[in-house]
Amino acid sequence: MLEVKGLRKVYRSGSREVEALRDLTFTVAAGELVCLVGPSGCGKTTLLRCIAGLLGPTSGEVTVGDRSGLAIVFQEYGRSLFPWMTVRDNVDLPLRQKKVPKARRRELVAEALTAVGLDGTESAYPWQLSGGMQQRVAIARAVAYEPSILLMDEPFAAVDAQTRADLEDLVRSLWQRLGMTILFVTHDIDEAVYLGQRVLMLSASPTVVQDELTVDLPAERDQLHTRADPRFVTLRTRVYSQIQAAKTGTASGAAGELSSADR
């Protein structure tokens, strides 16, 4: 369970003052998979940092079920890997912290790396990998952790289309298998609709929740058929127009009505 109430965050450094989040209120039920879209610089990363407890809000409140089972995939994947550790150790370390028995750890690490298509790179250092590979290491680390809450910040930005599709399916299957709560930030509207049970749309700065959309597609999805589904196309068009409205600053009223009628 995840609850954000009246969240406001202002960055102050020297004379510069940026209101990254104005007033966010929403909840994510336990076991829900929610996607978050919004224009660049609107405060998505800031929001995830607040939820993970890495950043204190300026005002408002964030309530998270149990932070100890929380994993996060950072947008800055390259900088979030420990350069002094091999790929294997990077994935393994959080598990060791969690005191997972050794044999199980080995299993989890191997599985996770295979799932993201990184067999054979276990003993390489992160900086010996391509950008997309680094990003997949960060994903593998979160996945192997088997978190109860998973925050992902544009986790597939650096991988190719095919790998992306595979990873999307990986996330959905993990979610279904482990029943975790997932908050997934993406810029790809199709991806948001394909993955989520719900899509939260943030406005441009000053940031509020502009709209939300329940994705009433069947729970069993697959790349070919789901994306071809006319309902899918309708939904993605709706998100697209909402986001465009957000960018151009159109009041969210009308569009909000539209989509809420849809739920």
Q: Which positions touch another protein (CB under 8 A)?
A: 11-14, 49-50, 52-68, 70-72, 74, 76, 79-85, 93-94, 96-98, 125, 127-128, 141, 145
**What is the 3 state secondary structure string of the chain?**
CEEEEEEEEEEEECCEEEEEEEEEEEEECCCCEEEEECCCCCCHHHHHHHHCCCCCCCEEEEEECCHHHEEEECCCHHHHCCCCCCHHHHHHHHHHHCCCCHHHHHHHHHHHHHHCCCCCCCCCCHHHCCHHHHHHHHHHHHHHCCCCEEEEECCCCCCCHHHHHHHHHHHHHHHHHHCCEEEEECCCHHHHHHHCCEEEEECCCCCEEEEEEECCCCCCCCHHHHHHCHHHHHHHHHHHHHHHHHHHCCCCHHHHHHHHHHC
Among 85, 110, 157, 178, binds its own copies (CB under 8 A): 157
Asked whether position 15 contacts ligand ATP by CB under 6 A, the answer is no
Shortest Cβ 224–ligand ATP spacing (Å): 24
Asked whether position 115 contacts ligand ATP by CB under 6 A, the answer is no
Which residues inside 168-227 make contact with ligand ATP, applying CB under 6 A? none
Shortest Cβ 117–ligand ATP spacing (Å): 11
Using the rule CB under 6 A, give the single segment among 42-50, 84-92, 107-115, 223-231 that binds ligand ATP: 42-50
Shortest Cβ 41–ligand ATP spacing (Å): 4
Number of residues that bind ligand ATP (CB under 6 A): 20
Asked whether position 130 contacts its own copies by CB under 8 A, the answer is yes
Asked whether position 11 contacts its own copies by CB under 8 A, the answer is yes
- Residue 181 vs 203, nearer CB to ligand ATP: 203
Q: Cis peptide leading into 94, omega within 30 of 0?
A: no
Among 114, 128, 173, 260, binds ligand ATP (CB under 6 A): 128
Asked whether position 75 contacts its own copies by CB under 8 A, the answer is yes
- Residue 59 vs 128, nearer CB to ligand ATP: 128
What are the two backbone dihedrals, phi and then psi, of residue 156, each rounded to the nearest 5 degrees? -110, 20
Asked whether position 205 contacts Mg ion by CB under 5 A, the answer is no
Asked whether position 87 contacts ligand ATP by CB under 6 A, the answer is no
Question: Which residues, in sequence order, are CB contacts of 248 under 8 Å at separation 6+?
Answer: none
Asked whether position 41 contacts Mg ion by CB under 5 A, the answer is no
Shortest Cβ 141–another protein spacing (Å): 8
67 closest CA partner among 155, 154, 181, 196: 181
- Residue 29 vs 54, nearer CB to its own copies: 54
Contact residues toward Mg ion (CB under 5 A) are: 45, 75, 130-131
